[in-house]
Amino acid sequence: MKNAKRKLLFAERMLHGDGRTPFNAVIPFRIKGNIAPENLEGALRKLQHKHPLLNAFVEKDAAAMPWFVLTDPASLEIPVHVIKRTSEEDWKTISEKQWAIPFDTATGPLVRVIWVKGEVYSELILVIHHCLCDGGSAMAILTALLELTDNPDAAFAVEEPIMDASDIIPQEILKSKRKRAKAKLIGGLASFVLWMIPLKKKLVERKRDYMIHWKVEKELSDPLIARCKAEGVTVNTALCTALLLAFKAVRKENFHNKVSCPVDIRRFAPGIKKDNIFAFGLMFVVSLGKMPGFFDCAREMQNAIDRKTASLNAYDTIMMMEASHPALNNFTRFLKYGKSGNDCMFSNLGRINIPHVYRSFTLDTLFSPSVIGPLGNTTTMVTSTYRGQMDFTFIASEGFIPYEEAQAIKNQMMAILTQQV
């Protein structure tokens, strides 16, 4: 794959931006035990052989279109920065700092590792430019990294990377004149509409970015899962309901009643393999209905989610977005300068099926990733479940939500969930 090129997909190009502004996904995890530095470095080299895009930098062509350029892993090593561990809270401070440290995408690589090294426990923090991967990709990278660090002799299959939208979309759909015309029409219409929308002249001052992290013990999560099943709603829907109710209680007149939820496109596009590295997602917005009780409200939301999920068409969406490249600057401008109509983005990675016990260490804790970027409202909640324990990371900026309000939202959300079990 050396010197192969791939044009950035629309979503990847939006996340890449100018290539200098940070838009970083931060994936922290805690291990108990010792790993040899040479094992970690060797694992990263093998990881680059497994996933060719981890050897990429970004190059713009004559039309200013960015391309991933895949190079030799030996010439583009993933850096490892070792920091002495002084407390269990170090990883939080370091994660927040990593949000603001940009990658030089013109030289690459688009990945780095921070090793917060202690005698018994250590945290390792994967930092990846968001244009390179989504949550599913990040978990695939983490799974392989742990396995290769533990066992340098482990065999691994080399990923067949996505090199074009045609690697995702079946040929019969891609060649459909009707679908191509529809995608081009929607893309052109989007460009016109975005150009016409009046926008603010000044960006919202983000001020301090911050993170609130907490875990939910099995004593709450197990009964919650059982109650959701009995009530006929998913845990994800119950969490969205509680999150919106918490925003409503705390934000009052600043409440928008809208949470955007990314959906893993792998569920709808079988051509995408589990280990494919890319950044593309589907999205829908959920809101509270008019039902008064918590689970009545959640069931109403569940019905809306089921309808929206049934109508999602991954292939049509990709074709439409790829036809919208001329609108990208207007779309980015709208996200930056448009009035925020969302309360929050809520991303649920679900159950993480990564082994717990390895030969020389155990994966003690997997923290939910955090991500922050320059495209408008930064308020995001990410949750995941590892070894039966739910984990939450709430990311925001003081310019959008004061820290005290975010703490109140977290407390209110957990009080609502506790009341249900």
Judge whether residue 191 has pLDDT over 80: no
Is residue 194 very low, low, confident or very high in pLDDT (cuts 50, 70, 90)?
low
Mean pLDDT calculated for residue range 318-326: 86
Q: What are phi and psi of 380, to 5 degrees?
A: -145, 140
**Tokens 């893993």 correspond to what residue?**
264
Cβ atoms of 37 and 79 closer than 8 Å: no
Cβ atoms of 320 and 313 closer than 8 Å: no
The single-letter DSSP state of residue 1 is -
Q: Which long-range contacts (CB under 8 A, 24 or more apart) does 238-242 make?
A: 238/295, 238/298, 238/417, 238/420, 239/346, 239/348, 239/383, 239/417, 240/286, 240/301, 240/346, 241/288, 241/294, 241/297, 241/298, 241/301, 242/294, 242/413, 242/416, 242/417
For the record, the structure tokens of 69 come out as: 């350029």
Question: What are the strands of the beta sheet with 344-351, ordered from one edge?
Answer: 209-216, 389-397, 380-386, 344-351, 259-263, 282-286
Instruction: Give dist(CA 225, CA 175) in Å, integer.
Output: 44
Architecture of domain 5-164: 2-Layer Sandwich (3.30)
pTM of the model: 0.93
Q: What are phi and psi of 174, to 5 degrees?
A: -60, -35
Question: Does 180 or 197 have the greater pLDDT score?
Answer: 180
Neighbours of 158 (CB within 10 A): 11
**Measured CA distances, 283 to 266, 294, 347 (Å):** 13, 24, 10
Domain extent listing, the chain: 5-164, 203-314+339-420
Contacts of 181 (CB under 8 A, 6+ apart): none
Q: Which of 328, 409, 344 is nearest to 376 (CA)?
A: 344
- Which run of H or E residues covers position 57? strand 56-60
Tell me whether domains 5-164 and 203-314+339-420 share a fold: yes
Q: What is the pLDDT of residues 1-58, one digit of tens each?
A: 667 899 999 999 999 998 889 999 999 999 999 899 999 999 999 999 999 999 999 9
Q: What interhelical angle do 235-251 and 218-231 show, nearest 10?
A: 110
Instruction: Give dist(CA 194, CA 129) in Å, integer.
Output: 26
Identify residue 75 by its one-letter amino acid code: S
Is residue 321 very low, low, confident or very high in pLDDT (cuts 50, 70, 90)?
confident
Q: What interhelical angle do 177-196 and 328-337 show, nearest 10?
A: 40
Q: In this structure, are strands 5-7 and 66-70 parallel, antiparallel, or unpaired?
A: antiparallel
Architecture of domain 203-314+339-420: 2-Layer Sandwich (3.30)
Query: With helix as H, strand as E and coil as C, how does 348-362 read?
Result: EEEECCCCCECCCEE
Is residue 413 very low, low, confident or very high in pLDDT (cuts 50, 70, 90)?
very high
Mean pLDDT calculated for residue range 191-206: 69
Judge whether residue 290 has pLDDT over 70: yes
Q: What is the pLDDT of residues 354-370, one digit of tens each?
A: 999 999 999 999 999 99
Q: Is residue 421 exposed (0-12), middle (13-18) or buried (19+ Cβ within 10 Å)? A: middle
- Which run of H or E residues covers position 272? none
Q: Which of 14, 316, 377, 333 is nearest to 193 (CA)?
A: 333
Mean pLDDT calculated for residue range 76-94: 95
Neighbours of 274 (CB within 10 A): 11
Q: What is the pLDDT of residues 238-263, one digit of tens each?
A: 999 999 999 999 999 999 999 999 98
Quick one: pLDDT at residue 419?
93
Which segments within 108-207 are labelled E, that is strand? 111-117, 121-129
In the chain, what percentage of residues exceed pLDDT 70? 96
Quick one: pLDDT at residue 1?
60
Quick one: pLDDT at residue 371?
95
